[in-house]
Structure formats: structure tokens, C-alpha cells
Structure 1
Amino acid sequence: MADPSKCPPLTRPSVIAAHALIKPHIHQTPVLTNTTLSTLASTPQSTAALEGTPWAGQEPAKPVIRLWFKCENLQKVGAFKIRGAFHALTRLVEEEGWEKGGGRTRGVVTHSSGNHAQALSLAARTMGIPATIVMPRISTPSKIAATQSYGARVIFSGSTSVEREAVVADVIQDTGATLVPPYDHPDIILGQGTLGLEMQAQVAQLLASSEKEKKSLDAIITPCGGGGMLSGTALSCEGTGIWVFGAEPEFEGADDCKRGLEAGKRIERVSTLTIADGLRTPVGEIPWTIIHDRRLVRAMYSVTEEQIKNALKLVLERMKVVVEPSAVVGLATALYNEDFRWMVQNEAGEKGWDLGIVFSGGNVSVEALGKMFEPTS
């Protein structure tokens, strides 16, 4: 990667500069609304629904939430990751001495369960750079096929971040390829943050056209795996008055960022097979400095596997939009996490919040969706 010490500062102006750099290569994805889902988010959960949860026996929250969905599932390669990949490679090529030193010939390498894999493969092909991608053997077959279709060499590994990184190290030793990490680098973070810039402007325009008194979002919630998108979005909102929150699966300790914030220390290892396969990695060191050290992310929340599936089903049936499980953890939080819902009620009162939800990707196969929702005996 480009030398981190020579990267632009991690600030909102740097996100704006990144957006100008990658704009020719990306889609400005749409922002959608859905009355049914906003109504559900603004309706108290039943006491029966809270049985067996940490909020059993408590009065259900009564927040007012208007949902705005940033559809990165409609982005190139079907996910937000293309933003960081193009920004990282553009900056790498511009780095003094990289090409003259044979960097283009040796190529680039990364590890990813699918979305960063596809993004780097497409960006590398566009810029004429060989790419090697280390993917877990349990990656979604459609993501593997798509990555290979963009011309990358795919090498398989175990599913944990430790296993992935070990194979990447071998590739670098053998080929001299340059690592383009999936989330833990300033150029990646700044690139991902461009979705936050777009969302702010798009929602402001939609609110202005509706002649409503409100002119901007109150908050944005994004999924969090390695933290590149969450921290980048937080940078894009710095100084705007828009709160930023993160959402994670809680299955098998996938909520490492939430637990890390509670303990005051980053959790470095995660081993989980949550259905939200894009969120199985621990938060990176650089995203952690933005999320924790600078306090640009207000809070983290977690949801269960069943809540993720319920949210996914609602999006498929009510919005007619195809997204992957990782993409709906923010929506699941708004619908089912009573800590979040009580917070919105207490903060916003009757006025409510305009809440941005990031649909991070849509790379899920029909077979996987069918299996996810097949009846259990």
C-alpha cells in the first residue's frame, strides 16, 4: 500500500478529496425510503417479542424513526468496497517509485470473504495490475466466481483472519506483491467514507424537495466488520452534527467492536461463523483510532442471527431489494435492539430521527437465500 505516513490526514476534507479522485470509477448509488419499514421502526415491539431477550419484562420503546437507505448493494461489484479499492490503487500508482521499482509487475494481494476481493479484482483489472486474492474456503460460491471473473488469481485459506493473513504473507514472500488490506489503511478508510458524503447530500436534497423543516440526517448506522466503512462514514460526518453508530452480529463474539468499546481495548482476534459473513473480521487498528480514540462513533450495537434474518426478509419482501445478511445489521438494530430504540426515543422525543441505514452489499446467491429461509423440521 501507499506509505501510511504519506497518506492524507483522516479528516472530512480528505474524504471529499477521495470522492473527487474515485468519482469516475464508481456509481452514485440511490437513497431509497420505505414507509412500511419506517412504520415498523416507529412501532413498539410486543412484550411477547421481548421475551427471552435482555429486555424481557421492560416497557417497549416508542421511538419515531424515518429510515433512509443508502443502496451500496447497487454499487459496482455489488458492494461499497469498490470505493476503497479504487482509492487505494489510485494512490498506490501515484506513489513515487512504486511503478519504477516493479510494483505493477509484482501486483497486489489481499484477503477477503468476497466483497473486497471482487472490488480489488475489478480495480486492479481496470488499472492493469495483476491481483492475487486469498479467500476462505467457505466463501459464498457466487463471490468466488465473481472474483475470478474479474481476472484475479484466487487462493483459498481457512475462515479466520489469522489463517487468511498467514496465506497472504506467503504470497508476498513468493511474489513481492503489495498488500492492499481490506480495511486497515487510511486510503481504504477515506475511500469508503465517500458513501457517507453522498448520503448526506442525497438526503438533504430529498428533504428540501419535500419542503419539510428538517434539512439533514440526524444519524447514520453502518455495519461493522473490519471497521473501514464505519470509520470512513464517521470521518464524512465529522463536524456536521450527524451522529454515527455501528452495528454488528453478536453470534460467537462477532460483536468485537462493541465489546472492545465496553472494555476500553481493541479485541484483536475473532472466530465466528455468523451468517453475516462480511462481518467476521476484527476491527482494524486504524479504524479503532477513529471509532474509539477520537470518539467519532457514538456507540455500537449488536443483533442476533434471527434478527438479521428477520430484517433481511423484510427488505426482500417489502422493498423488493436484494441484499446480503451483512447489509441489514443496521436495520435489525433499528427494528429490534431496545437499547438503540430507547436511545432514539430519549434523544428525539416526538420529533423523531431521520436515520440513514447503509445497505453495504448485495452479493448473496439465490441458493443461499433459499437455504437461509427453508423451514426447520
Structure 2
Amino acid sequence: MKEFNSLINFKLYRLSIMLVISLMLSGLIVVYMSSSEVGWGFYLHSLLVLLLSLLLLSYPKKETMFMRSLIILVGTVYFHTIFILYPETSSTLILLCLMPAASILFFQPMLFYFSLLLNGLFLTVAFSYIYYVDKGALYPHLYMDLIGNIINFLGSQALLFLVFYLSDLRIKRQQLYYEQIQQAERLKTAGQLAAAVAHEIRNPITVVKGFIQYYQVDQSLKKEMKDHFSLMMDELKAAETVISDFLSIANPINNKDIDTVNVKTALLKVADLIQSYALIQGITIKLDVEEDRFIACNLIEFKQLMINLLKNAIEASPIESSLVVTAKKRKNCIEIKVIDEGSGMTEEEMKFIGTPFYSLKNKGTGIGLMISFSIVQHYNGSIQFTSNKGKGTTVTMSFPSKKATAALG
């Protein structure tokens, strides 16, 4: 996502960057005015100021990982160069300790860890130089209490790591919550659409089917015309299937019986039901399910959920491949996985999973996955897709575990 997608954000960034550049130029002017002669250090300082300024000014137009890494690298080199060129400025160490905080603005974990590692490596070299070579000649304020300064540096890095880690964790939770809200809105929209339209469509379809069935038994019609009627009936049945899927979303599941389901027994029955379809596609279904694992949900809906997912996995898998279904206990939950060796999905495609009318199949409607999401969420479960393009997809579901009490399967 672009960070500078509004005029206000762009102006605020430019204003902040101009302030930073002004401070760096002020430092150059102070050095120039206070020095009796201009040496190589001043030219190196000027070059780094120029390079860092150009990178910061051009960043909004090139928001790439390479550009961000380059800014962090040049910024780190810049502050460490100041630390070396002007040892009398003791406060520079504070800036070095806070250097990884700049990468937090980009909020990319790999970039933050890269900055943390780079800063730690540079300061390790600097402290080693002070202890073994300098011995307090240029850095007496550090050498007099080197151990204390090292501890302070490590403490600052640990604090920055903790701030970033907790913030990143909170953002991920908020993102997950936002995605759940989006999914709930999709289900609500599809349910309202189904309730408003499905019954109205089903009525005229029923009338048309009645007339077609009537004319099919009419002996005066030609056989070719009756073949057309059969084709029309097949298409009408396909339309009714889609309408039934819509009604499944619109129909509330709150009043359905909640059973104690034996996961292994239920999965074996689902595998038996869909085995013939898998064999036609040349797919082998393998089960790896632990004994005596139970969840609380409606048995019919659980089977419907698994059939939807297995059917999708079979249709996505190449011929002569295998489909693995596992069910194991993880802490207080039962984790069920459906693993295929199919074509997989990109990250962009996975964002739209469960969206009404979104499907990667030629004649798919996306309703089956919407129903699956609805079932999982209703029974306090979670569902997650992980996929690599060309390497297959794994669907991971987690349901609260339940003790066995007349379990069904």
C-alpha cells in the first residue's frame, strides 16, 4: 500500500524532510565555520548529507523495499560517520542508539531487524576500537565507563525491539479483526441479497420446469426438440443449485442442533462420500486423524463444510496427486487441515476468498466458501488459507475441543 496516497500526507512528509535536511545542513555550516581548514572529513560529511537528502526527497516516488533499505543503510553510515569525525560531541551516541527507530516508520519487520543488526555491528566495532586502540584519547567520556555505556546501548536496543514487536503484534491483531469484520459484512450482504431475490427467482423457474416436463411427455413433438428440453432441464437444475446455495446463507443456523461430533468418524464418512469424485479426477485422499477428538457443532453442517473444502481441493489438484486431511489436538483446540498439491493462489487472490461471486473456477460462484466461512465462525472456530502459486494450498481450521458425550459422526 502506498503511504503517500493523499496530498496532506505528502505535504507533511515534505515538511518533515525539509526540517531534517535543514538540521543536517546546519551541522555542516557549524563544522565549516569552526574549522580552520576543510579536510576529507568535511567532504565525506557533505557527500553523505547530499546522498541522504536525495534519497529522502525521492522516496515518495519510489516506495520500494530497495529504496527503504538504502535509506536505512545510508542513514546508519551517516550517523556513525559523525560519531567518528566528531568524537567531542558525546550526544551522538544517543542518536546511534535510536537509529533503528527510524526503520519503525516503514513498519516492515525485516527492515527493522536489518537496521537493528547493522547498528549493533557498527557499534560493536566502535566500542572495540575505543577499548583496544583509542583507550580514551578521543572518547574519554565513553572509555571511563565503557561497560556502562555498552549496557545502556544494549538496553536501548532491547527496548526498541520490545516496542516494535508489541506494536507489530497489535497491528496484526487489528488487521485480523478488520478482515473478520469484512468477511462478516460480505456474509451479511450476500444473505440479504439471497433473502430478497432467491425466492422470487425460484418461483418462475418452477413454472418453467413444469411446462418443460409437460412437453417432454408430449408424443407429438420430435425427438430433437425433446433433447433440447433435457438440456434446458439440466441448466435449470444448475440454476436451482445456485439458488439453494444462496438460501443456505440467508437461512439462520442459530436454531440448528449442536452435536458433539467425533472428528475422525465424521471425516471418514465425508471421505467415503467424496471418494468416487476424487477417483474420477485421479486424486488420492489420505487421512491422518487422531482418535477421540471431538468438537461441538451441527454434524450436517460440519460435513457440508468438509465436502465444500475437499471438493475445491480436488478440483484444484492435478491428476495422480494426493490430498491430505489431518486432524490433531493443539492445546484446547482441534486443528483440521486440508492440504492439496494444486495450482495454488497468489496473495492477491487469497484476499478475495469468501467474497460473493469470486471464484477461480470457470463456473464457480464463491458461495460454497462463503458458507464454509459462516459455519466455522458460527461455532467459534477460525479458518486460514496459506498457498504458494504452483505448489498447492493448505486450509487450516481450528475448533474448540470438547469432551466426548454421546459423540456423533
Rg bigger for which structure?
Answer: 2
Given the two structures, how large is their TM-score scaled by the length of structure 1?
A: 0.19
Asked which structure has the greater RCO (Cα within 8 Å, sep 6+), the reply is 1
**TM-score of the superposition, structure 2-length normalised?**
0.18
